[in-house]
Amino acid sequence: MKIFQSSLFWLFCFTLIFFLSLDFWSWGQPVSLSWFYLPSWLFYLLGLQIVLMIALFVFSLTFWETLSK
């Protein structure tokens, strides 16, 4: 897809992931334990890392390929 070859798309994508990682909306909230007695922010971080992994994978397959051509 042509949008994956746009540098502005990747700038927006990685900037969005960065700002989502700051997690400023849950500062000051008490830590509550959820599944397996782990804090809920751990699952948020895990999901965000999976999104980052997929974004980096797609970035390496599409955008770096256009720079080498």
E-state strands within 1-69? none
pLDDT computed for residue 54 by the predictor: 96
Give the total number of structural domains in the chain.
1
In a domain, 8, yes or no: no
Does 65 fall in a domain? yes
Whole-structure pTM value: 0.78
Letter string b/e over residues 47-56, b meaning 16 or more CB atoms within 10 A of that residue's CB: eeeeebeeee
- pLDDT tens digits for 8-63? 999 999 999 999 998 777 777 777 788 888 888 888 899 999 999 999 999 988 87
Q: According to the model, what pLDDT value does residue 66 have?
A: 54
| Residue count of the chain | 69
Q: Does 66 map to a domain?
A: yes
Has residue 36 been placed in a domain? no
Higher-confidence residue of 5 and 10: namely 10
Q: Which domain holds residue 63?
A: 45-69
Indicate whether 28 belongs to any domain.
no
Q: Is residue 61 part of a domain?
A: yes
68 is a domain residue: yes
